[in-house]
Amino acid sequence: MSEKFLNSHYEKLVGSENDMDYMELETRLHDCIYSDNGTLITDPEVILEKVYREVGASKYKKYELKKTPEDLELIALVKNTVIEYAKQYGKDEFVNITDEHIHLLKEGSLEKISGGRLLQGSHSSFFGEVKIDRRSDIETAITTFHELWHRLASYNALQITKEGMLQNYRTGLHIFSRQNAEDKLLGPVDEALTGYMTKRFFNEVIQNDEMFKEELELLNESGKTVDTSRQKEVKRFLEFVDLIFSKDESRFTNKKEIIDIFIKAQVTGNILPFVRLIDSTFGKGATRKLANFLN
Ligand SMILES: [Zn+2]
């Protein structure tokens, strides 16, 4: 991995520091652009480090729950599994998301904080944090896995935009353009892959760990199904994998090989094999069309 990988909570920063717009940054980041003695910080990486330490780790006053030993155990189990799975797809270094950057909130908080936009979980590459509504152990573990897969397993890069703002550049296959940061590509694919991995976590870990035994028994008795997140996107994605497989069955031994190409791109940030797969299956430039297909 490149030397750039020294950053606290993101893997790469692209763009030129000469483009930084400090007036705009001050509106958004307030004190984070000033050092303790009041001088302006001009190094974007130092600003981001400060944002991560002072904002990402600070408590959500009205909403945050104090983590119990059980909560910490649950978080550790999820975090270790995220790292173990991501290693299987070729990721070898991980950013630092501490327990302070994992916020457990009272049920219903995220909906209130976001004005109805978010439901049970969210993650921020910029602040290096995840926010999760604390519900039952199984529900909380599922959402924590999903958000940490975005934040910890997926490749996270930030950018200094042409307008001088610090913003997202890549979160897994969620790719933002350099020209227009609002122009996003492959977001639904990224969600599908995250839902796919979360389902694997449910099947392999939740189904077998003592921590969830009692709740699972109650669930099974009630006949309720478990939402392993983004199920609609996962279904659509697997249909898409079927389509790639059926186009030329001699290229792959099984469908898992195709899925692995997608997930490797998501976690390592090396999207070339993935782009090659799509373009060679559907024609040059097809990757851009993929977003529409899966939407
Ligand atoms: Zn997601």
User: Given CA atoms 101, 106, 107, 113 in this order, what sign does their dihedral have?
Assistant: negative
45 falls in which pLDDT band (50, 70, 90)? very high
Does a structural domain hold residue 284?
A: yes
Distance in Å, CA 36 to ligand 1 centroid: 36
Give distance in angstroms: CA of 230 to centre of ligand 1. Answer: 8
CA 146 to ligand 1 centroid distance, Å: 6
Task: Say how many Å lie between the CA of residue 20 and the centre of ligand 1.
Answer: 29
User: Mean of the per-residue pLDDT values for the chain?
Assistant: 91
Find the 65 Cα to ligand 1 centroid distance in Å: 22
Ligand 1 ion: nearby residues, β-carbon < 5 Å: 191, 194
pLDDT band at 253 (very low <50, low <70, confident <90, very high): very high
**What is the 193 CA–ligand 1 centroid distance (Å)?**
9
- Distance between CA atoms of 51 and 211, rounded to whole angstroms? 34
Q: How many CB atoms lie within 10 A of CB 253?
A: 8
Question: Which of 5-14, 259-268, 271-280 is least confident?
Answer: 5-14
> Per the domain annotation, does 127 fall within a domain?
no
How far is the C-alpha of 174 from the C-alpha of 191, rounded, in Å? 8
In a domain, 109, yes or no: no
Cβ–Cβ < 8 Å for 47, 166: yes
Q: Are 65 and 20 in contact (CB under 8 A)?
A: no
Residue 227 CA to ligand 1 center (angstroms) comes to: 13
Residue 42 C-alpha to ligand 1 middle, in angstroms? 33
Going from the Cα of 186 to the center of ligand 1, the distance in angstroms, rounded, reads 12
141 Cα distance to chain centroid: 15
**C-beta separation of 170 from 157 below 8 A:** yes
Angle of the 137-148 helix axis to the 69-88 helix axis, nearest 10: 40
Distance CA 222, CA 199 (A): 20
- Structural domains in the chain (count): 1
Distance 203 CA to ligand 1 centre (A): 19
Is residue 238 a part of any domain in this protein? yes
Please give the Cα distance from 119 to 107 (Å, whole number).
10
148 CA → ligand 1 middle, Å: 9
Domain range holding 240? 210-294
Residue 102 inside a domain? The answer is no
Q: Ligand 1 centroid vs 187 CA: distance in angstroms?
A: 9
At 185 the pLDDT is: 75
**Exposure class string for 5-43: b at 16+ Cβ within 10 A, else e:** eebbbbbbbebeeeebeeeebeeebeebbeeeeeeebee
Q: Is the pTM of this model over 0.85?
A: yes
The proportion of the chain whose per-residue pLDDT surpasses 90, expressed as a percent, equals 74
> What confidence category does residue 115 fall into, taking pLDDT thresholds of 50, 70 and 90?
confident
- The answer to whether residue 228 sits within a structural domain is yes
The answer to whether position 115 is within a domain reads no
What is the rounded average pLDDT of the residues 24-33? 89
Strand order across the beta sheet in which 12-14 lies: 12-14, 156-160, 166-171, 174-176, 184-185
Answer yes or no: is pLDDT of 212 > 70: yes
* Ligand 1 midpoint to CA 142 (Å): 11
CA of 24 to the centre of ligand 1 (A): 28
Query: Looking at the predicted structure, is the pLDDT value of residue 210 above 70?
Result: yes
Kindly tell me if the per-residue pLDDT of 196 is higher than 80. Answer: yes
Residue 235 lies in a domain: yes
Distance 205 CA to ligand 1 centre (A): 20
Distance 150 CA to ligand 1 centre (A): 7
* Angle in degrees, CA 179, 128, 53, rounded to 5: 120
Helical ranges in the chain per DSSP H: 22-29, 44-51, 69-88, 109-113, 137-148, 187-201, 213-222, 231-247, 255-268, 272-282, 286-294
